[in-house]
Amino acid sequence: MLAIVLGMVIVICGVLFLRMHAFLALFLGALAVAAATSPLSVSQSVLHRLTSGISEVQGNQIVLSDVEEGLPKKPGAYYITFNSPDGGAKQEPLVVWVDRFAEEDNVTRAFVAHELPNDIDLAGARFVSQDTYREAKQLSGSSAINRVANALGSTFGKIGILIAMASIIGQCLLSSGAAERIVYGIRHAMGERWTALAFVVSSFVLAIPVFFDTVFFLMLPLAQAMAQRSGKDYLKYVLSIVVGGTLAHSLVPPTPGPLFVATELNVSIGAMILGGIGVGIWGVIAGYFYMLWANRRWQIPLRIEAEEAIAEEPNDESDLPSFWFSVLPIVIPILLLGLKTVSQTALPASTSEIWITAISFLGDKNIALSIGALLALATLFCKPAMTWVGLSKSVQKALSEGGVVVLITCAGGAFGEVIRQTNIGAAIADSLPSTVGGTGLLVTAFMITAIIRVIQGSATVAMITAIGIVVPVAMQIGLPFHPVYLALAIGCGSKPLPWMNDSGFWVISRMSGFTEKETLKTFSVLLTIMGLVSFLATLVFAILIPLA
Q: CB under 8 Å to 185, separation ≥6 — which residues?
A: 323, 326, 327
Q: What is the mean pLDDT of residues 295-308?
A: 71
pLDDT in tens, 75-112: 777 777 776 544 445 557 778 888 777 776 566 677 78
Cα(503)–Cα(408) distance, integer angstroms:
8
SS (H, E, C) 245-314: HHHHHHHCCCCHHHHHHHHHCCCCHHHHHHHHHHHHHHHHHHHHHHHHHHHHHCCCCCCCCHHHHHHCCC
The amino acid sitting at 437 is: G
pLDDT in tens, 256-276: 678 778 877 888 777 888 899
Cis amide prior to 254 (ω within 30 degrees): yes
Least confident of 32-46, 124-138, 303-317, 376-390: 303-317
211: in domain: no
Least confident of 79-83, 265-269, 393-397, 414-418: 79-83
Greater model confidence, 243 or 51: 243
Q: Does position 539 have pLDDT exceeding 90, yes or no?
A: yes
Q: What is the mean pLDDT of residues 137-142?
A: 85
The amino acid sitting at 50 is: L
252: in domain: no
On whether the CB atoms of residues 465 and 518 are closer than 8 A, the answer is no
Q: Does position 472 have pLDDT exceeding 70, yes or no?
A: no
Q: Does position 485 have pLDDT exceeding 90, yes or no?
A: yes
Q: The domain spanning residue 66 has which CATH number?
A: 2.40.10
284: in domain: no
65: in domain: yes
Domain count, the chain: 1
Q: Does position 474 have pLDDT exceeding 50, yes or no?
A: yes
In this predicted structure, what is the pLDDT of residue 249?
79
pLDDT in tens, 367-392: 888 898 899 888 888 887 777 888 88
Cα(109)–Cα(107) distance, integer angstroms:
6
The amino acid sitting at 206 is: L
Domain that holds residue 86: 51-140
Cα(26)–Cα(37) distance, integer angstroms:
17
418: in domain: no
Query: Quick one: CA dihedral 206, 210, 213, 215, positive or negative?
Result: negative
On whether the CB atoms of residues 165 and 366 are closer than 8 A, the answer is yes
DSSP character string of 130-190: HHHHHHHHHHHTS-HHHHHHHHHHHHHHHHHHHHHHHHHHHHHHHHHTHHHHHHHHHHHHH
In this predicted structure, what is the pLDDT of residue 85?
45
Which of the four pLDDT bands, split at 50, 70 and 90, describes residue 343?
Answer: confident
91: in domain: yes
On whether the CB atoms of residues 307 and 167 are closer than 8 A, the answer is no
**Percentage above 90 pLDDT, the chain:** 14
pLDDT in tens, 31-65: 998 898 888 888 877 777 667 777 777 777 777 77
Q: What is the mean pLDDT of residues 514-540?
A: 93
Query: Quick one: CA dihedral 18, 20, 24, 26, positive or negative?
Result: positive
In this predicted structure, what is the pLDDT of residue 43?
81
- State how far the alpha carbon of 504 is from the alpha carbons of 23, 24, 163, 373, in Å: 14, 17, 12, 21
Look up the pTM and report it: 0.67
79: in domain: yes
What three-state secondary structure class fits 76? Answer: strand
498: in domain: no
What average pLDDT does the structure give for the chain? 78
